[in-house]
């Protein structure tokens, strides 16, 4: 048991910051604290099945924690709102471009968004991103390619005026 407690505390030290960033990117900073705590509690309960490479596993747990919260009706911040809050006031063109890209991203399915963001925000390679999503690496690559295509279409729609 002591080994397990040491493992939990070491895992927190190594990964809590990254899991917080993962959660804050998806649900906003206000809700991220609780998502991180829940993620490590769930990880602790499932410690028997923990893999040696822990971070993609923790991202996968955090992803399910966030999905549970959404299903339970909790209002979680949307990306467009968070970007609007942070947009620099002196560069309207850049802010517009970012908001159009964010709106295009928000218009995709949750699965497509996660495929794209694990690569773009968490910087995961195909093998680790596939572990987060519970799919094979070739399947991840195929889905990512398709999600990129859908994002490009959505962005073209946003740039052309907003409605398809």
Please identify, using beta-carbon distances, which residue of 67 and 127 lies nearer to another protein: 127
Euclidean distance between CA atoms 141 and 12, whole angstroms = 30
* Residue 109: C-alpha distances to residues 15, 59, 65, 93, 124 (Å): 27, 19, 18, 27, 20
C-beta of 50: minimal distance to another protein in Å?
7
DSSP string, 34-57: HHHHHHHHHHHHTGGG--SSHHHH
Question: Dihedrals φ, ψ of 73, to 5°?
Answer: 90, 5
Please identify, using beta-carbon distances, which residue of 49 and 72 lies nearer to another protein: 49
- Which residues contact another protein by CB under 8 A? 1, 3-4, 7-9, 12-13, 16-22, 24-25, 29, 32-34, 36-37, 40-41, 44-45, 47-48, 50-52, 79, 82-83, 86, 98, 101-102, 104-105, 116-117, 120-121, 126, 137-139, 141-142, 145-146, 148-149, 151-152, 155-156, 159
Please identify, using beta-carbon distances, which residue of 75 and 146 lies nearer to another protein: 146
Element (H, E) at 163: none
């Amino acid at each position: 048991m002591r080994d397990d407690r040491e493992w939990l505390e070491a895992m927190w030290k190594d990964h809590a910051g990254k899991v917080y960033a993962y959660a804050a990117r998806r649900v906003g900073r206000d809700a991220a604290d609780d998502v991180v705590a829940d993620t490590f509690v769930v990880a602790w309960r499932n410690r028997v099945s923990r893999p040696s490479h822990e971070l993609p596993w923790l991202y996968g747990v955090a992803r399910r924690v966030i999905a549970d919260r959404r299903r339970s009706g909790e209002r979680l911040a949307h990306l467009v709102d968070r970007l609007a809050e942070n947009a620099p006031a002196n560069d309207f063109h850049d802010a517009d471009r970012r908001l159009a890209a964010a709106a295009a991203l928000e218009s995709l399915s949750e699965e497509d968004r996660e495929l794209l963001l694990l690569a773009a925000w968490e910087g995961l390679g195909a093998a680790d991103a596939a572990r987060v999503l519970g799919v094979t690496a070739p399947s991840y690559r195929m889905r990512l390619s398709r999600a990129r295509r859908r994002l490009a279409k959505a962005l073209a729609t946003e740039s052309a005026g907003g409605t398809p």
